[in-house]
């Protein structure tokens, strides 16, 4: 067994921390090469102390200085750098075999793409990369022949339930050609699945970030509460599995035990089940095609007792419909959707806008910006910047008119 040399992008986040937990259980299999974080320096120092990476990368010079001081005090010899190019460097370094892409938002795209182009084993948690640049990313991954393993629990479940030949090379055929009718993408429905819709405008940040089943970063928690997370995941599934939108069905399943399913032509439905613990898909990605201990409690079906399923409520969760619409529109529409959502969620977390204003910001961006086809990453990044600028202005106008 050859040891994997791992870079963890977004090492201080929820996925990053869980990844390091799994790695620590298998020192003979994994060695950490580099860790990155934006600004959570104390957490990064603690991780460097345990994993002794060669490199650590942070957002900017100020944080790099803080990190260097902290490491020096503890006698840790990790080399410190900062910025976007440094993230790319630790993702493509020749000794690196595996990159965990767990930065949140479009900020994670460049390094993730670079890792794919450099033929690394890419463990993809950063779904925004696929929403922003799905086709170009998948083209790059196919071209380099990199091993791409989805970490998002639903996509990991689907990957496990797909035929082996298809999941590794989805663009050499189609779902229909391998006997698949639909992908059933499960959704917990988030914390507001049954809340009185009339009270949605009073939703607080604390309520929105408190997911009933999963413990996650703040942005994805708000996305789950608005069901934009599921919308982003539909787009993610479209690209990962070469799946037309008509073959992706969202199924609300409040227990988050069935992580998603694949429905075959002969009537079979293959599902992957497990406790809602991200260490399962992370361990799957790290060890694929083998299986390793992830530290996850065995699923107790008797304790769960029942599993419920229902269709999603598009009126309650307009973000889900906006994501389907952006996918259907194509071109740079998903990039515009994603960028406007990032700005709107940030504004909601900073208590500048209401929960119910998140879809308004996104809808305005989608309807008022001209959505163009694109040829290159630069054109997509342009659409991303325009959408961010539009959303910021929209929110500022709203604030000044109140």
Min dist CB 307 to ligand NAD, Å, is 21
Nearest Cα residue to 239 out of 345, 399, 128, 346: 128
Shortest-Cβ-distance residue relative to Mg ion: 152
Which among ligand NAD, Mg ion, none contacts residue 216 (Cβ within 5 to 8 A by kind)?
ligand NAD
Positions touching Mg ion (CB under 5 A) are: 152-154
Residues 83 and 59: their CA atoms lie apart, in Å, by 5
Which C-beta is closer to ligand NAD: that of 13 or that of 170? 13
Which among ligand NAD, Mg ion, none contacts residue 103 (Cβ within 5 to 8 A by kind)?
ligand NAD
The reply to whether 126 sits in an annotated binding site is yes
Shortest-Cβ-distance residue relative to ligand NAD: 13
Min dist CB 244 to ligand NAD, Å, is 23
Which C-beta is closer to ligand NAD: that of 107 or that of 140? 107
Which among ligand NAD, Mg ion, none contacts residue 395 (Cβ within 5 to 8 A by kind)?
none
- Which residues touch 63 (CB under 8 Å, ≥6 apart)? 38, 39, 41, 82
Positions touching ligand NAD (CB under 6 A) are: 10-16, 37-38, 40, 59, 102-104, 107, 125-128, 152, 214, 216-217, 219-220, 278
Min dist CB 101 to ligand NAD, Å, is 8
Exposed e or buried b per residue across 41-59, where buried means at least 16 C-beta atoms within 10 angstroms of its C-beta: bebbbebbeebebbbbbbb
Nearest Cα residue to 355 out of 368, 344, 371: 344
The reply to whether 108 sits in an annotated binding site is no
Which among ligand NAD, Mg ion, none contacts residue 86 (Cβ within 5 to 8 A by kind)?
none
Kindly report the number of other CB atoms within 10 A of residue 16's CB atom. Answer: 27
Q: In whole angstroms, how far apart are CA 128 and each of 10, 244, 316, 324, 336? A: 14, 18, 23, 15, 11
Exposed e or buried b per residue across 176-206, where buried means at least 16 C-beta atoms within 10 angstroms of its C-beta: eebebbbbbbbbbbbbbbeeeeeebeebebe
Residues 222 and 225: their CA atoms lie apart, in Å, by 5
The reply to whether 152 sits in an annotated binding site is yes
φ, ψ of residue 61 in degrees (nearest 5): -65, -40
Q: How far apart are the two ends of the chain, measured CA to CA in Å?
A: 62
Which C-beta is closer to ligand NAD: that of 4 or that of 112? 112
The reply to whether 211 sits in an annotated binding site is yes
The reply to whether 233 sits in an annotated binding site is yes
Which C-beta is closer to ligand NAD: that of 15 or that of 208? 15
As annotated, the binding site for Mn(2+) includes 152, 154, 233
As annotated, the binding site for 1-deoxy-D-xylulose 5-phosphate includes 127, 153-154, 188, 211, 224, 229-230, 233
As annotated, the binding site includes 12-15, 38, 126-128, 152-154, 188, 211, 217, 224, 229-230, 233
């Amino acid at each position: 067994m050859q040891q994997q040399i791992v870079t963890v992008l977004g090492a201080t986040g929820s996925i990053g921390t869980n990844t390091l937990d799994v790695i620590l259980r298998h020192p003979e299999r994994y060695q950490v090469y580099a860790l990155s974080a934006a600004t959570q320096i104390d957490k990064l120092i603690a991780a460097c102390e345990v994993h002794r990476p060669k490199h650590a990368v942070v957002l900017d010079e100020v944080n790099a200085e803080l990190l260097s001081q902290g490491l020096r005090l503890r006698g840790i010899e990790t080399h410190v750098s900062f910025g976007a190019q440094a993230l790319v460097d630790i993702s493509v370094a020749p000794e690196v075999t595996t990159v965990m892409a767990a930065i949140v938002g479009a900020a994670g795209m460049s390094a993730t793409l670079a890792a794919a182009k450099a033929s690394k084993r890419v463990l993809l948690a950063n779904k925004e990369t696929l929403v922003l640049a799905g086709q170009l990313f998948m083209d790059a991954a196919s071209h380099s022949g990199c091993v791409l393993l989805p970490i998002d629990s639903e996509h990991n479940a689907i990957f496990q339930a797909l035929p082996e030949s298809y999941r590794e090379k989805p663009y050499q055929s189609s779902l229909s050609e391998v006997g698949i009718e639909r992908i059933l993408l499960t959704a917990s429905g988030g914390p507001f699945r049954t809340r009185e819709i009339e009270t949605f405008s009073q939703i607080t940040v604390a309520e929105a970030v408190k997911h009933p089943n999963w413990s996650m970063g703040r942005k994805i928690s708000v996305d789950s509460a608005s069901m934009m997370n599921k919308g982003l995941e539909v787009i993610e599934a479209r690209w990962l599995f070469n799946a037309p939108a008509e073959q992706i069905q969202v199924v609300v399943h409040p227990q988050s035990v069935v992580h998603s399913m694949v429905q075959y032509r002969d009537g079979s439905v293959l599902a992957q089940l497990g406790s809602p613990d991200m260490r399962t898909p992370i361990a799957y990605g790290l060890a694929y095609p083998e299986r390793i201990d992830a530290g996850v409690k065995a699923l107790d079906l008797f304790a769960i007792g029942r599993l419920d399923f229902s269709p999603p409520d598009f009126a309650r969760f307009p973000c889900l419909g906006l994501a389907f619409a952006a996918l259907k529109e194509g071109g740079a529409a998903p990039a515009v959707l994603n960028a406007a959502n990032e700005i709107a969620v940030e504004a909601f977390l900073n208590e500048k806008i209401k929960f119910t204003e998140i879809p308004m910001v996104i809808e305005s961006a989608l309807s008022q910006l001209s959505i163009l086809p694109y040829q290159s990453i630069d054109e997509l990044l342009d659409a991303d910047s325009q959408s961010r600028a539009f959303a910021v202005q929209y929110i500022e106008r709203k604030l000044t008119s109140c």
